[in-house]
Amino acid sequence: MRAKFEYLAPTSLDEVCALLQEHEGDAKLLAGGTALVMWLRMGLLSPGYVIDLENVPGLDGITYDPADGLRIGAGVKHRDLELCPEVREHYPLLQETFYKVAQPRIRLMATVGGNLSHGDPMTDPGASFMALDAEVTLRSSRGERTVSVEDFFVDYYETALEPDEILTSIHVPPPAGPAWSHIKFTPRSEEDFATVGVAVTLTGTSSRCDDARIALNSVGPTIFRARAAEDVLRGRDLSPARIEEAGAAAADASDPIEDVRGSSDYKRDLTAVFVHRALEQAAARLG
Amino acid sequence: MSKAENFAVLGQNVDRFEGHDKVTGSAAYVADVFLPGMLTGRILRSPLPHARIRNIDTSRAEKLRGVKAVVTAEDTIKKGWGVFFPDQYPLSVGKARYVGEEVAAVAAIDRDTAEEALELIDIDWEELPAVFDAAEAMQPDAPLIHEEKENNIALTIDVVRGDIDAAFKDSDLVIEDSFESVPQWHSAIETIGSVADYSANGKYTVYMNTQTLFMARMRLATALGVREADVRVIQTAVGGGFGGKSCDDNNAMVAAILARKARRPVKIINTREEEFLAGSRPRVNMKVWMRMGFKKDGRIRAKHMRIIADNGAYSGKAPAITGVAALRHDTCYKYSDVRSEAYLVYTNKIPTGAFRGFGNPSAEFSVEQMMDIAADELGMDPFEMARLNAAEEGYVSPHGNRVISCELRQCIDRTERMIGWKEKRAARKPNRGLGMGCTVHVSGKRHFGDYDGSSATIKMNEDGKAFILSGEGETGQGHWTAMCQIAAEELGVPFSDVAISEADTDLTTFCLGNYASRLTYVAGNAVKNAATAVKEILHETAAEMLECDPSDLVSRDGFIFVKGAEQRSISVADVVRGRQFRRGGAPVVASGSFDADSVSQDALRYGNESGAYNFGCQAAEVEVDPDTGHVKVIQYAVASDCGTVIYPIGAEGQVEGSIAQGLGYALIEGIRMEEGRPVNPNFSDYRLASMRDMPDLVHEFADSYEPTGPFGAKGLGELGMDPVAAIISNAIYDAVGVRIRTLPITEEKVLRALQEKKNGS
């Protein structure tokens, strides 16, 4: 059976929040539709109401300020972020990550906020946002709050969003340094979801790592930070042995499921390989 | 093109005949067909892999407002249909044999109503034990899927030529190995669909996106219990076939049954999920065991092959496919002593069937790896070994296939050069490897009755334009364009002065349709013969008008000239008008027919299966990531012997598409099933190679001329697909020393094999 729902087209964020409150738990937000429409078609969701964000102002725009960092409206399309000059200049990790998502037809439709709100552990942006210490703003009729992207992902397709909340923007702090890496392993097709996805940022020097952030997608019930692997590096050198140890720690922290992309053992083995490689690449950028 | 004539239209990249319609979106696909009063049909499918139907209660569904018809087997003649074995029914009779099988159907005023009605149909199921593996299904204690088929075996082949035991004894090297292929899915961009209408006089009209129109009509007539001419099948635009739209499924049957009961037109378009479950029949997966014997110098001495082919729940074309897998490749190399055993076995899974290559990819995945293994053991260069064994003009295979034109050695030479074999082997890079393989395919195959022919009619319009009436249809490869080029060449008119009809069983003569790489060769000959006949009529009238002898006339660019006195000419249009608009006038129209000089295989499967054979050689360079097992194809080289190239851009498209599908088959594709249910029935999980995944592809056509082909042409559409998986496997072995014998060659398999190799040594 095809989904039957009432279609709502509010024209302000306040109205969106009021509708979410009114139909709490029975409404889904429609932005780019690349995830929602597929789920409706497959019968995985059957909301009573679909709230279209097409006519809602205040969700667009990318602004960059050296002191404040990057602010991204939740309704910004993947493609816009990928092509944004400030992103390219100051956040090459984000540019590379978004460039690798699916293919242009999807990126022209899918929104950044929609991607995060979907809570899909297979998608790439969340890991890179995590590695950049980004936070999201959630809004409801009750008010606004901010949550770190790391805390935002709660479980498999579950986020910190309450049923009456909408993700309105993403804030990325000012860039901390040039050392980053992103690896998306897509052996079947470049357009596939990642078998393993790794985002890394490093600060310090090659002889001493001040800070490391390692975030992974596709190898656990959520996108997550491999904190144990970070601890291996923080305040230490970036020797090959240390990097290998970090890779092994990240693999230990992973909890991949078996699917058409491979067994869970294989993905765990690859997590070590790709965290290792990503750290090498990032360390090389430290100079 | 040494043997080729000087062509005016052939070999030109003309504008594709239906190109404008397709690129502007105006081509009418089956979903675009709307008839007055048309209903939407939806199908209730078996949720169980093997289950008896105790009772079906449709009363609640019938009462739903907007429902116009609900049908079950009780609304059918309950007679089986199927091209080789009549083992399937439009709607389950008594029991269902796979998940997705059609059990009941509803026609309603819209889709939502129809789907709601499906939920109101109550079925009392009695689940039966099921079997999902072909080898297990052959065991004596396995549940029987078709009660009359002992050990679930649908077909057994055991062919021995020569003295196989002596040949193995006479061999210097004997190798043995096993391989396994997977059900690959066509993934055509358009799913199967049909619109059926039933008129009060008892005639069905069915719009279908089928690639084999008259075969569809034959099967519909059988399933509906009517005569062939009581069914009219009209081909709509087709969004990709690859064998999957050759009407081995029940979509159109169910639409027709609903239309008759509702007395209204009914449209059924498979959803993508339905297409995976019960639409196009995926490639027959096979387990292949092989033993081959070689002389020290690399000559093949003996070959023994044993195949267990997975039929799925119903037979469709799998019996013929199994035969091809068992015998076809023996036309590629010179063999004397061979034995081929094959068992086609029922399982409680999606019925398998025709897909580009038709059994040959499973066979070549095995044989071309055996050749590589042998070359390795003998310390020979695989290209040298291929050259040594390659078929040539005049070769007759042990099964009676007679090779007329053959440029396999030329293809081997070209491929070796294109891939830079010698240079790259001399300067090896770590984790890089090269692999090669050869391939053979047919140009039409005689297996549906003792006929592998085609026919066409050409009528001339009074403006001088020719119109071809053909029932072969267009499935996307560009056949319409090639047929128009052949007619234009023969008639001596510009390409723009030729058009071709849509395929319609009422308006065109009998044609077998699009399979077995047959259209350019078989239908091309029929069109050429029709054009020759039309030209004779034109020359007869032109001779009267120019007052000369018809044998002195030539046609070119839409004019008819007197040889040697070219100022004496007349336009084709004037000739057509001259013949038509006079006392006792008549239209200029003629038919042409062609039946290939092949024979039906006898009881021992001996006989020349096709009028012409196409050959090729391919090679790949790969790089293997030793830490992840990932295989990256760096470059792929293809040389194809398809005779004269009629429509170059279409031919190149066939090669590129074949390699893309072949690489998908080699590395990523395959329907995975658990308890008879596909676990990846969507394009997120069932991944295809995208444009970005294609390697650098270099390609050449051989200089070649097939004397029995239209202007020297022969088939091409499947040839390129067949050997790709073996070549990739050979290249991986060359790169890192591990050989993967089961498809797809996933990175995980490669990594584990590398680890085993490391631990073992």
Range list of β-strands (E), chain A: 6-8, 27-30, 49-52, 62-65, 69-73, 135-140, 143-148, 153-155, 158-159, 166-172, 179-185, 196-204, 209-217, 224-225
In the predicted structure, residue A43 carries a pLDDT above the cut 90: no
| Minimum distance, in Å, between the CA of residue A262 and any CA atom of chain B | 7
**Token digits of residue A195:** 């078998």
DSSP B407-467: -HHHHHHHHHHHTTHHHHHHT--TTEEEEEEEEEEESS---SSS--EEEEEEEE-TTS-EE
Q: Å from B744 to nearest chain A CA? A: 10
Instruction: State the nearest Cα–Cα gap between B114 and chain A, in angstroms.
Output: 9
Cα angle A87, A93, A95; round to 5? 45
Prior bond of B744 cis (ω within 30°): yes
Which residues does chain A have within 8 Å of residue B692's beta carbon, measured at their own beta carbons?
A: 103, 189-191
Domain edge (last residue) among A112, A143, A172: A172
Report the pLDDT averaged over residues A116-141. 98
CB contacts, 8 Å: A102 with chain B? none
Residues 74-113 of A with CB under 8 A from B: 103
- CA B595 to CA B636: how far, in whole Å? 36
The partner residues of B641 in beta bridges, in order of sequence, read B615
Question: Are residue A163 and residue A213 in the same domain, yes or no?
Answer: no
pLDDT-derived band at A42 (thresholds 50, 70, 90) equals confident
Cα–Cα distance measured from residue B90 to residue B102, given in angstroms and rounded to the nearest whole number: 7
- DSSP-derived pairing of the beta strands B300-312 and B337-346: parallel
The answer to whether residue A107 sits within a structural domain is yes
Give residue B736's pLDDT: 98
**Interatomic CA distance for residues B14 and B649, integer angstroms:** 9
Domain boundary among A172, A195, A230: A172
Question: Where do we find the tokens 């044989």?
Answer: B367
DSSP-assigned letter for residue B228 = G
Q: How far is B752 from chain A (nearest CA, A)?
A: 9
B565: exposed, middle or buried (Cβ count in 10 Å: 0-12, 13-18, 19+): exposed
Minimal Cα–Cα distance from B350 to chain A, Å? 19
- Could you tell me the two tokens for A94? 């984000």
Q: Which of residues 33-52 of A touch B (CB under 8 A)?
A: 42
- Give the end of a domain, one of A172, A190, A224: A172
The C-alpha atoms of residue A129 and residue A170 are separated, in whole angstroms, by 9
Q: How many CB atoms lie within 10 A of CB B74?
A: 11
Asked if A259 has any chain B CB less than 8 Å from its own CB, the reply is yes
Q: Which of A235, A149, A252 is nearest to A199 (CA)?
A: A149
- Write out chain A residues lying below 8 Å of B631, CB-based: 187
Contact criterion met (CB < 8 Å) for B672 and A260: yes
Q: How far apart are CA A244 and CA B491, in angstroms?
A: 73
Q: Is there a single domain that holds both residue A184 and residue A124?
A: no
Q: What are phi and psi of A204, to 5 degrees?
A: 120, -150
> A1 lies in a domain?
no
Residue B497, token pair as written in the block: 């002065």
User: Which pLDDT belongs to residue B167?
Assistant: 98
Question: Among B215, B248, B278, which Cα is nearest to B82's?
Answer: B248
* CA-to-CA separations, B294 to A39, B271, B304, B438, in angstroms, rounded: 56, 50, 12, 17
Question: Contacts of residue B672 in chain A, CB cutoff 8 Å?
Answer: 260
User: Is residue B190 within 8 Å of residue B29, measured between CB atoms?
Assistant: yes
Smallest CA-to-CA distance from B387 within B367, B370, B371 is with B371
Cβ contact B628–A187 (<8 Å): yes
Residue-wise pLDDT tens digits, A148-179: 999 999 999 999 999 999 999 999 999 987 89
How many other C-beta atoms can be found within 10 angstroms of the C-beta atom of residue B674? Answer: 8
Contact A192 B687 (CB under 8 A): yes
Question: What ipTM is given for this predicted complex?
Answer: 0.95
Please give the CATH topology (third level) of the domain spanning B19-26+453-595. Answer: Aldehyde Oxidoreductase; domain 4 (3.30.365)
Q: Chain B interface, mutation test: which of A191, A198, A218, A257, most B Cβ atoms within 10 Å?
A: A191
Do A213 and A162 share a domain, yes or no?
Answer: no
Which residue type occupies A235?
G
Q: Find the CB nearest A266 among B631, B686, B751.
A: B751
Instruction: Tell me the C-alpha to C-alpha distance, in Å, between residue A180 and each of A4, A85, B643.
Output: 45, 18, 55
Which CATH architecture fits B33-128+189-240+246-278? Answer: Alpha-Beta Complex (3.90)
Fill in the amino acid letter for B588: V
The identity of residue A156, as a single letter, is: Y
The residues facing B500 across adjacent strands are: B468
A43: domain CATH number is: 3.30.43.10
Task: Determine the Cα–Cα distance for residues B395 and B334; give it in Å rounded to an integer.
Answer: 7
Q: Do A83 and A153 belong together in one domain?
A: yes
Q: What is the DSSP letter of A259?
A: B
Let me know whether A246 and A193 are in one domain.
yes
pLDDT block averages, 10 residues each, chain B of length 761: 72 95 96 98 98 98 98 97 95 98 98 97 98 97 97 97 98 98 96 97 97 97 97 97 96 98 98 94 98 98 98 97 96 98 98 97 98 98 98 97 98 98 97 98 91 97 98 96 98 98 97 96 98 98 96 96 93 97 96 96 94 98 98 98 97 97 97 94 91 95 98 97 98 98 98 95 65
Q: With 0-12 CB in 10 A as exposed, 13-18 as middle and 19+ as buried, what is A109?
A: middle
Taken in order A150, A151, A156, A162, the sign of the CA dihedral is negative
Residues A165 and A196 occupy one common structural domain: no
Nearest to B748 among A103, A190, A266 (CB): A266
Q: Are residues A141 and A120 in the same domain?
A: yes
The distance of B685 to chain A (nearest Cα, Å) reads: 6
The mean pLDDT value for A251-261 works out to 96
Mean pLDDT for A103-115 is: 97
A263 close to B (CB below 8 A): yes
CATH of the domain at A108: 3.30.465.10
User: Residues B500, B468: contact at Cβ < 8 Å?
Assistant: yes
Would you call B610 helix, strand, or coil by DSSP?
Answer: coil
Concatenating the DSSP letter of every residue in A196-212 gives EEEEEEEEE-SS-EEEE
Please state at what angle helix B318-327 crosses helix B360-378, rounded to 10 degrees. Answer: 20
Q: Which residue has the higher pLDDT, A4 or A101?
A: A101
Residue B565, classed as helix, strand or coil, is strand
Same domain for A109 and A134, yes or no, is yes
Burial level of B424, CB count in 10 A (0-12/13-18/19+)?
middle
**A3: confidence class by pLDDT, cuts 50, 70, 90:** confident
Tell which of A37, A188, A219, A269 to mutate to test the B interface (max B CBs under 10 Å). A188
Examine residue A88 and state whether it is found in any structural domain, yes or no: yes
The reply to whether A34 falls in a domain is yes
Predicted confidence at residue A178, as pLDDT, reads: 80
CATH of domain B286-446+601-760: 3.30.365.10
pLDDT at B2: 46
- For position B3, what pLDDT does the model report? 52
Q: Are residue A167 and residue A189 in the same domain, yes or no?
A: no
How many whole angstroms separate alpha carbon B438 and alpha carbon B433? 18
Question: Cα(B747)–Cα(A273) distance, rounded to whole angstroms?
Answer: 14
Residues of chain B with CATH 3.30.365.10: 19-26+453-595, 286-446+601-760
| A252, A272: one domain | yes
Q: What stretch of H or E contains B53?
A: strand B51-57
Domain with residue A194: its CATH number is: 3.30.390.50
Has residue A254 got a pLDDT over 50?
A: yes
Q: Count, in order, helices (H) and strands (E) of chain B.
A: 19, 28
Contact A188 B667 (CB under 8 A): yes
Domain contains A57? no
Asked if A187's CB is within 8 angstroms of B692's CB, the reply is no
Integer CA distances (angstroms), B372 to A278, B67, B175, B724, in order:
37, 61, 11, 13
In a shared domain, residues A138 and A235: no
Shortest Cα distance from A267 to chain B (angstroms)?
9
Residue A231 is part of which domain span? 179-286
* Residue of chain A with shortest Cα separation from B630: A187
Q: Helices B747-760 and A264-286: crossing angle, nearest 10°?
A: 90
Q: CB–CB of B112 and A266 under 8 A?
A: no
Nearest CA in chain B to A35: B684
Q: Do B748 and A190 touch (CB under 8 A)?
A: no
Determine, for residues A185 and B116 on separate chains, whether the beta-carbon distance falls below 8 Å.
no
> Distance (Å) from the C-alpha of residue B321 to the closest C-alpha of chain A?
28
Give the count of domains, chain A: 3
Return d(Cα B35, Cα B596) in angstroms, integer: 40
